Amino acid sequence: MFHKDGFLRFGRICVLKEYREKGVGSLLMEEMLKKAEGIDAEGIRLDSQIYAVEFYRRFGFRENGGIFRDAGIDHIEMVRAAFPAESNKTKNRE
């Protein structure tokens, strides 16, 4: 996770094949989103392989732009809105 152009960017998220379909990816995303809650940003961006688009949609990400190739694999950028500032303040007080 890094900050670029006002957005957080999640990069190179992957789960080894033998651990897929076991909830590992969901746990990873939940933890990354928890970490992102306290960071001031316009939103969160990531580049999804086409087969994983539905996975990221479950976490509030939406497609942004067209398909592009990275390392010979089709991808699409996905974006999620930032966490509301007020909810961050409330959580930080608890």
Listed by start position, the domains of the chain span 2-93
Whole-angstrom distance, CA of residue 1 vs CA of residue 8? 7
Domain spanning 2-93: CATH superfamily:
Gcn5-related N-acetyltransferase (GNAT) (3.40.630.30)
Calculate mean pLDDT across residues 13-28: 90
Q: What is the pLDDT of residues 26-60, one digit of tens each?
A: 999 999 999 888 788 889 999 999 999 999 999 99
30, 10 Cβ separation under 8 angstroms: no
Q: What is the CA radius of gyration of the chain?
A: 14
Band the pLDDT of 64: cuts 50, 70, 90.
very high
